[in-house]
Amino acid sequence: MELLFLLSSFLVVALPGLLIRHVGVIEFVSLTASVIALVESFVIAFKVSSVGTYAPMSFFFVDALGAIVMLIIACVGLAVTIYSVRYLRQETLKDIIGFTRVRQYFVLLNLFFAAMFFAATANSPVFTWIFIEATTLATAFLISFYNKSSSIEAAWKYLIINSVGLFLGFFGTLLYFTSLSPIGAEGLVGWRSLVANAIYLDPLVAKIAFIFVLIGYGTKVGLAPMHTWLPDAHSKAPAPISALLSGVLLNVAFATVLRFKVMTDLVAGHAFSQNLLIIFGVISILIASLIILVQKNYKRLLAYSSIENMGIIVLGFGFGGLGAMSALLHMIYHALLKSALFLSAGTIFLKYSSTKIARIKGLLTALPVTSVLFFAGFFAITGMPPFGIFLTKVFILSSGMKTHPMVAGVVMFLMAIVFIGFFNHVTSMVFGKKPSEVKKCEEDIWLVIPPFGLIALALFLSFHLPLFLTTLLNDVVAHY
Amino acid sequence: MLLEIVFLTIVFSHITRKNFGAVLAYSMQSLAIAMVIFNSFLLTGATSLLFIASLVLLVKVIMVPFFLARLIQRHEIKFSVSTYLNVPLTLISIAGLVAVAHSRKFAPLTSIVPANQLLLSLALSAMLLSFFLIINRKGAISQIIGILSLENSIVAFAIFAGLEQSFSLQVGIVSDVFIWFIIATALAFMIYKHFGSLEVTSMKQLKD
Amino acid sequence: MFNTLIPQVSFVVLLSFFGVGAIGALLFRKNDVISNGWSSFFAIIGSLWGLFFSIVTIIAGHNLSFVVGKSSFPRLALSFHIDTLAGFFIFVISLISLFCSIYGIGYIKHFYKKYDIGVFCFFYHLFIAGMLLVVSASNGIFFLIAWEIMSVASYFLVVYDRNEEENVKAGFLYLIMTHVGTAFIILALLLAYKFTGSFDFETIKLGAGLIPLSVKNIIFVFAMIGFGTKAGIIPFHIWLPSAHPAAPSHVSALMSGVMIKTGIYMMIRIFLDILQPIPVWWGLALLIVGSISSLLGVLYALTEHDIKRLLAYHSIENIGIILLGVGSALTFLSLGMPQFALLGLVAALFHTLNHAIFKSLLFLSAGSVINQMHTRNMEEYGGLIRYMPQTAMFFLIGSMAISALPPFNGFFSEWLTFQSLFQGVALSGFYGTWFFIVAAGSLAFTGGLALACFVKAFGVSFLARPRSAEVAHAKESSFSLRLGMWALATLSLLFGIFSGRITLILQEIGRGLTIFKNVPSFIVVSSRQSIAVGNDFSFVSAPIFFSFLIVTFLLVMFVMHFLINRNQKVKVGATWDCGTDLTPRMEITATGFSRSIILIFKGVLRPSIQHETEYHDSESRYLSRSRTVVLGVQDVYQAHFYQPLRKAIRTLSLRVKDIQSGNINLYISYIFIALIIALFSVL
Amino acid sequence: MTIFVWILQLVLVPVTSPLCIGIIKKIKAKLQNRQGASIFQPYRDIWKLLHKDEVVSSDASWVFRYAPFIVFVVTIVVGASIPLFASFVNNTGVGDILVIVYALSIGTFFLALAGLDVGGGFGGFGSSREMTVSALAEGGFLFSLLTVALIAGTTNVFSISSSSMLVHGQSLLSITLAFVGFVIVLLAEAGRFPFDNPATHLELTMIHEAMILEYSGKRLALIEWASFNKLFIFFALGSNLFFSFGIAQGIGINAIAMGISALFIKVFIFCLIIAILESSTAKFRFFRLPDLLMTSFILNVVAISLIR
């Protein structure tokens, strides 16, 4: 029931949003929607942690993984909504955008949320596919939001590449239905029945299907070499949208891959899917880390860092065991921190109105709080204690050291390279003398609170995990 | 028979120079798909299939080509932009891809339903070809068509592999594809506005 | 129950002092004075508490291991293990941090209104707490966290004076070097974990037998690189000469006096305690590394005229000397001569303690000079002894101690190191003898060169005439600064005079390690405080030497003043100036002083000398108006190791960047290729 | 009796050191067919200087004023803590080769500082050269002593001199090598030819003289005397550690008398060697000195490796 309430709240905002004539109303309703979403998803998460799975009707199905993903969407979603209210106001003040664009923004934003929640909770694989495709559709215009040629280009690449990928994923999804042909199931086929029937899959077909799924949804997850759309889209979208894209959307897509991984493992054994995951993870980390070293644009930098972190997560699931557990944790931390980083990057962009790293100097004097947040986020995302990503990285590597020592060693050094490159850019941004044209003025508190909240949450989670979260995590590790 | 049409249309849109030709080929192709669905309606007699067939007919055979035609007329771009490979090379690679699709390698896929193994491998090669179309063509329209035909061939594969989905799924997919198509055309309009052509290779700002 | 609980509680209290100090400093950051007072108070109290705690631990020979709280993560436990060795390092940390904090009260006044004092104090406390955790943690992951906290806190202290461009650069270099080092450490721990299945040091120690020898060697090399980077052994030292000068002086005193010792501590802990038994080549490798670091360190120090860089290079040298002790200990252990090994360990520990004392003393006095002169360039000092006599005295004592002149403490630890090396040289029929000969030789030359270097440092900056107008404005520094330096100076004399007793205590500390349990004592200290090594191999007695020196000195003074010349006059005149009036530019410069040594070792140092002569009239070149000689030493490691590495990685990444060419068709073909390859790999 | 021995041990060095300088000077004069001053001339010089007024530079600090005393005291202390004529004076406190080496470098340290202190043109490069030479000499010095220490199985100089190691002559070769190395170091440390010309005041060549250029009166006297002592200390070390025959092993008048006379004979031989060396060789170029010192170090390393 909560689920319907939650989803409807977004749709309610989204659809009539077109009719509303007043900005404040739109902002208010979307804020309320995201607050509701947060509350509801916590309720659902508690339910799931206590009951197991939660399926109010045949159409929805929330297991532990879904619950975790929902929590991520909701937490980041609230922060992003709060942030984007102020962000858009600032931009309207600078009259970069007008009212219609603001309205369009919020409508699409809420559609995006709805699509992501649907994708996380839909029962049928095909519906999941449809809604993930729907996220692509909802965000296409958000990426081309500023209507500059470069953002159109980004949007086009995003659309085309993702659709190609997703159609491959669709094909893979369909292949899993071959398991049903013996019994010829009719009507809507849910995840659970598929998993139940997975034993009837022909192992080779399962392998092929998984390859299609991995490469297809992997495009959405941003695994190299299918990652090419990601830096463009993330750097051209408005900062809050980039935060959602790399903080949340990637995880939603990856959760789907995991669901398919289970079926494949049932017939093809763990080794196959794990090796694939390890290979793609290592490639992603390699490419991302090397490109980060010579990056010139801080939003693209963050985007590549997302690719690297997705690679780490995938690697963790490839290693399995403790690795999977900590990969999930890594997913949570990364979602929170990366969106915080993108939000503070948005503030930096508002101040300097440039995304070139070379243009940003003396952040510490220009934006004291935001720069501190940015620095903290950087330390956190590159795995500096006391932030939890350090732990997850060590755990992932430790479980990798048991099975693939060489891989673990290589990845260790790639991570070091990421740190060096990232750190190089961050120091050049934070320190130094600030350019004279940038005037030092008070920071908008509402632009600071959301990233601060996210980082604080991540910090809290890296010191202590709530009980229901640990149960969810263990549940996921048990299943996937 | 109908699947051959799908296949041939894709090959045609590979080699044609005219955008209209490509669009026409696509509508033929979609028509064939619709016929296939209608055919299975005749076999099973499920009214939902009839509905879907008509939906496909409406969306893919009429509206999509119509919009594309509008786009083409608006910017009077009769001739589609160049490809990477010239026609002979394209044909050679097409042949290669077809061979790949028919190779023993893909036996596990194509022998899902042993009865129509040939059809399945044909659908598979159609998929690969439309994939190749997206890679090979530089025009935005050709890429749109490529993706649409990729979807068509997947649907065809699904049908012949006996993986047809429930009614709601079908509707969802078709509407999804339709919305996708609308957005893509809108973006194509914007591209033309900003870049003065529908040549996707003109978009090279976002590097590194 | 009770007396098992007390030490743990007191350790937690110790940590909490620094925690409270850190938080409070942040809370009061609005007001510089309050936050400074608050943090200094808690730092001093905490350090005193730490001294008390560590002394109790050492005396009582506690060997406590306990777990605080419970972490919600697997394999991570906040578990501590404090044996006498850890207690000793806690002692060193608290000792130095005590005086540095006293010094800091006055020192950071000149940051008021310029930077945020609260933030500084926060990281200062974090830094000390991190070091305490590093030496006391007994869970691998917990240790790594503490290690990183220590590094990050010190990084922020290094870049604290952030308006200086090169400080930021130095901090950058420091953090990336230490991060790469940490990567090696993590790999070493992971390897150990792979075979023992635990991150807990005790468990690893018990399961050390499960680790195959080859992996052990890899672990050794990794740990060597990782901890060596922190300790600053050559060639991983490049961060050290740039980071130490950048930090505020009492922080550089802490970093150079204590922080780099944590690397040594972990080496001792891992090689000597956890991974036993070990192959013999580890010790020999350490000997070689130690010799190289000590000799090159002092040579590079000679080339410096930036006073803090000079001191930083001397830290490298002394780390090398400590490593000589550790290396000989390792070698003797694997040769099965534990009592010799104990001697080596004692020497290493003693030198650790001494170096901490006199190096922080030197940094503090250098700091108070810089505080007055606002430059680190020694060429602009000169004649400071007249303007800040006490600081000069402290610096002199520090220099005598670091160049191992008796009766100061530096001599006795070097004496012990020499003794342990001599034992190795005296070994017969063992190829390793040669390593010991090399080590002893390099130690001997290091002593001589260090002497030369400190004659230069003290002479050029404190003696002769002022070399710049700034000197005239220099004043003796404020009380808290002098108090801190005074205490350290006194300590470095006392620790020299009571070296006998300290040696005994250190031997007991060494016995705290498992392998040294009930090892027959090799060092005997007689009633006259004379240290005797081996069976009458050699003796030295600090008190006798000291009293002998003093008595003779008084005697001579007495004779001179009251017997021989009662009625001679002492005229004060100008220095002999060869007729022309003497200007400061006629004095020898720091560079000129060491020029001859640099040229002698030009094979190693690769000096670059440019002469530029400007003539009065261009056609007849007889009278030169000005002649400038620039003597520089190129950084061999940057030039031949780090730069090429950087360039290689950079070119590689530029290649990889071409993947993102911006062409969408290419992008889609990546997907296609990936798909095909993946399919064909399984089918 | 022991008191007497102790006092003798204490005063022997300062009392006799000017004499051997005088002897060296005399022999050199003879070799150059000059009459030469009396061998007691150094005593007169010191006495004269001790009673002169002195001029102290206005730039000089306390380092300059007290350096001479420290240097002198150090030589006294070291002179008293090495075996001169008796090896039984069991001095376990300071009679260690390392203590000797490093205590002597205290003197060098302060002398060099004093040279820098006045801020003249000469003192600076004087101490620079001095420190260069002594830094390079230290390795050879230590290792030559270490060789005999290893042979004797102890680093205590008295025990070394008491151990009769020349008896079993298989380490004779290494002792000879070590001795050669020691002699080179002796020349360097005591500032004799070919390292330094004790008689020159030519700024291109002088090392020791450059440092003490500013001194006059009693301080100059002390420094000169200290340098005499240093030379004598080296003689004593060389004669008692390498050729320890004749040294008094036990307490007793004739043993001690024997020891003293043996010491004098050996020292005289040293003086002879030095004098002949100085009148036969020329001073080296400064940058050739390192080679010489390295040679001494290498010789000692070889010597140590030969002890088996």
Task: Tell me the pLDDT tens digit for each residue of D207-248.
Answer: 888 888 889 888 999 999 999 999 999 999 998 888 877 788
Report the Cα–Cα distance between both ends of chain B, in Å, rounded.
Answer: 47
pLDDT at C351 over 70: yes
Chain C residues near residue A227 by CB distance under 8 angstroms: none
Residues ≥6 apart with Cβ < 8 Å to D137: C448, D185, D188, D189, D293, D296
Mean pLDDT of C666-670: 93
> If you average pLDDT over every residue of chain C, what do you get?
90
Q: Whose CA is closest to C152, among A305, A379, A418, A422?
A: A379
Q: Could you give the 3-state DSSP secondary structure of residue A146? A: coil
The domain in which residue A14 lies consists of 2-479
* Token pair belonging to C345: 């360990």
Question: Considering only residues 599 to 638 of chain C, which have any Cβ-Cβ distance to chain D shorter than 8 Å?
Answer: 599-600
Question: In whole angstroms, what is the distance from residue A207 CA to residue A204 CA?
Answer: 5
Best residue of C26, C29, C73 to probe chain A, by most A CBs closer than 10 Å: C73
Residues ≥6 apart with Cβ < 8 Å to D277: D187, D192, D193
Cross-chain CB nearest to B187 (options A152, A170, A297): A152
pTM value is 0.94
Does A149 contact B205 at a Cβ distance shorter than 8 Å?
A: yes
What total number of domains does chain C contain?
2
Q: Which residues pair with C79 in a beta bridge?
A: C67
The answer to whether residue C416 sits within a structural domain is yes
How high is the ipTM of this complex? 0.93
pLDDT at B102 over 90: no
- The pLDDT value given to residue A1: 63
Cross-chain CB nearest to A167 (options B151, B191, B203): B151
Chain C residues near residue D124 by CB distance under 8 angstroms: 464, 587-588, 592-593
Does C556 contact D76 at a Cβ distance shorter than 8 Å?
A: yes
pLDDT range class, residue C573, cuts 50, 70, 90: confident
Give the residues of chain A that fall short of pLDDT 50: none
Does C668 contact B135 at a Cβ distance shorter than 8 Å?
A: yes
Mean pLDDT of C538-561: 90
Rounded to 5°, the CA angle A165-A169-A172 comes to 145
Strand C570-573 and strand C538-541: pairing?
unpaired
The answer to whether residue C379 sits within a structural domain is yes
pLDDT at D167 over 60: no
Question: In terms of residues, how long is chain D?
Answer: 308
- The pLDDT value given to residue D165: 57
pLDDT at C541 over 70: yes
What values do phi and psi take at D154, rounded to 5? -160, 155
Does B166 contact A295 at a Cβ distance shorter than 8 Å?
A: no
Distance from CA of B197 to the nearest CA of C (A): 15
Does B135 contact C657 at a Cβ distance shorter than 8 Å?
A: no
Mean pLDDT of C663-676: 93
Residue of B nearest to C667 (CA): B135
**C263 vs D: CB within 8 A:** no
Residues ≥6 apart with Cβ < 8 Å to A471: A49, A64
Cross-chain CB nearest to B183 (options A137, A178, A232): A137
What values do phi and psi take at C343, rounded to 5? -55, -45
**C444 vs D: CB within 8 A:** yes
- The pLDDT value given to residue C533: 83
- The pLDDT value given to residue D92: 66
What total number of domains does chain A contain?
1
Report the Cα–Cα distance between both ends of chain C, in Å, rounded.
Answer: 67
Question: In whole angstroms, what is the distance from residue B12 CA to residue B17 CA?
Answer: 10
Written as one string, the DSSP assignment of C317-338 is HHHHHHHHHHHHHHHHHHTT-H
Q: Which residues pair with B139 in a beta bridge?
A: B199
| Chain pair B-C, CB pairs under 8 angstroms | 36
Chains interfacing with C (3 or more CB pairs < 8 Å): A, B, D
- The pLDDT value given to residue D281: 86
Q: What is the pLDDT of residues C168-203, one digit of tens each?
A: 999 999 999 999 999 999 999 999 999 998 999 999
Rounded to 5°, the CA angle C368-C373-C378 comes to 95
Question: In whole angstroms, what is the distance from residue C291 CA to residue C435 CA?
Answer: 9
Does B168 contact A181 at a Cβ distance shorter than 8 Å?
A: no
Mean pLDDT of C565-588: 79
Distance from CA of C646 to the nearest CA of B (A): 19
**C165 vs A: CB within 8 A:** yes
Cross-chain CB nearest to C678 (options A211, A384, A385): A211
- At A223, the amino acid letter reads L
Cross-chain CB nearest to C657 (options B100, B200, B208): B208
- The pLDDT value given to residue B10: 86
Does C541 contact D146 at a Cβ distance shorter than 8 Å?
A: no
The domain in which residue D130 lies consists of 2-306
> Is residue C20 within 8 Å of residue C129, measured between CB atoms?
no
Does C665 contact B205 at a Cβ distance shorter than 8 Å?
A: no
Question: In whole angstroms, what is the distance from residue A223 CA to residue C588 CA?
Answer: 64
B87, B93, B201 from B84: Cα distances, Å: 10, 12, 11
> If you average pLDDT over every residue of chain D, what do you get?
88
Does D94 contact C545 at a Cβ distance shorter than 8 Å?
A: yes
Dihedral over alpha carbons C438, C440, C446, C448 (to 10 degrees)? -120
Written as one string, the DSSP assignment of A289-338 is HHHHHT--BHHHHHHHHHHHHHHHHHHHHHH-THHHHHHHHHHHHHHHHH
Does D134 contact C574 at a Cβ distance shorter than 8 Å?
A: no
Chains interfacing with A (3 or more CB pairs < 8 Å): B, C
Chain B residues near residue C669 by CB distance under 8 angstroms: 135
Chains interfacing with B (3 or more CB pairs < 8 Å): A, C
Question: In whole angstroms, what is the distance from residue A275 CA to residue A281 CA?
Answer: 10
Question: In whole angstroms, what is the distance from residue A95 CA to residue C403 CA?
Answer: 69
- The pLDDT value given to residue C4: 64
The answer to whether residue C437 sits within a structural domain is yes
Residue of B nearest to A204 (CA): B108
Does C668 contact B205 at a Cβ distance shorter than 8 Å?
A: no
The answer to whether residue C268 sits within a structural domain is no
* Token pair belonging to C559: 């004779």
> Is residue A365 within 8 Å of residue A296, measured between CB atoms?
no
Does B131 contact C672 at a Cβ distance shorter than 8 Å?
A: yes
Written as one string, the DSSP assignment of chain D is -HHHHHHHHHHHHHHHHHHHHHHHHHHHHHHTT-----TTHHHHHHHHHHTS-EEEETT--HHHHHHHHHHHHHHHHHHHTS-SSBS-S--TTT-BHHHHHHHHHHHHHHHHHHHHHT--HHHHHHHHHHHHHHHHHHHHHHHHHHHHHHHHT--BHHHHHHS--SSSGGGHHHHHHHHHHHHHHHHHHTT-TTT--TT---TTT-SHHHHTTT--HHHHHHHHHHHHHHHHHHHHHIIIIIS-TT-B-S-SHHHHHHHHHHHHHHHHHHHHHHHHHHHHSPPPPGGGHHHHHHHHHHHHHHHHHH--
The answer to whether residue C136 sits within a structural domain is no
Question: In whole angstroms, what is the distance from residue C413 CA to residue C348 CA?
Answer: 8
**Chains D vs A: touching, with 3+ CB pairs under 8 Å?**
no
Distance from CA of D290 to the nearest CA of C (A): 7
Does A291 contact B205 at a Cβ distance shorter than 8 Å?
A: no
Residue of C nearest to B207 (CA): C662
Burial level of A19, CB count in 10 A (0-12/13-18/19+)?
exposed
Does B204 contact C683 at a Cβ distance shorter than 8 Å?
A: no
pLDDT at D8 over 90: no
What values do phi and psi take at D204, rounded to 5? -70, -30
Question: In whole angstroms, what is the distance from residue A224 CA to residue B207 CA?
Answer: 16
Question: In whole angstroms, what is the distance from residue B62 CA to residue B57 CA?
Answer: 7
Question: Considering only residues 413 to 472 of chain A, which have any Cβ-Cβ distance to chain B shorter than 8 Å?
Answer: none
Chain B residues near residue C663 by CB distance under 8 angstroms: 201, 204
Q: Which residues pair with C65 in a beta bridge?
A: C81
Q: What is the pLDDT of residues C555-564, one digit of tens each?
A: 999 988 887 7
> Is residue A360 within 8 Å of residue A298, measured between CB atoms?
yes
Question: In whole angstroms, what is the distance from residue C311 CA to residue C363 CA?
Answer: 7
Question: In whole angstroms, what is the distance from residue C224 CA to residue C282 CA?
Answer: 10
Q: Whose CA is closest to A289, among A105, A418, A376?
A: A418
Distance from CA of C406 to the nearest CA of D (A): 6
Q: Could you give the 3-state DSSP secondary structure of residue B24? A: helix
> If you average pLDDT over every residue of chain B, what do you get?
85
Chain B residues near residue C659 by CB distance under 8 angstroms: none
**C150 vs A: CB within 8 A:** no
Q: What is the pLDDT of residues C280-332, one digit of tens each?
A: 999 999 999 999 999 999 999 999 889 999 999 999 999 999 999 999 999 99
Does D59 contact C465 at a Cβ distance shorter than 8 Å?
A: yes
Mean pLDDT of D19-32: 92
Estimate the crossing angle of helix D97-117 against helix D121-152, to 10 degrees.
180
Best residue of C664, C671, C673, C676 to probe chain B, by most B CBs closer than 10 Å: C664
DSSP annotation of A56 reads S
Does C183 contact A390 at a Cβ distance shorter than 8 Å?
A: no
**A379 vs C: CB within 8 A:** yes
Each domain of chain B, given as residue ranges in start order, spans 2-202
- The pLDDT value given to residue C1: 45
Question: In whole angstroms, what is the distance from residue D78 CA to residue D100 CA?
Answer: 6
C338 cis-preceded (ω within 30 degrees of 0): no
Q: Whose CA is closest to D217, among D56, D107, D76?
A: D56
The domain in which residue C515 lies consists of 282-519
pLDDT range class, residue C47, cuts 50, 70, 90: very high
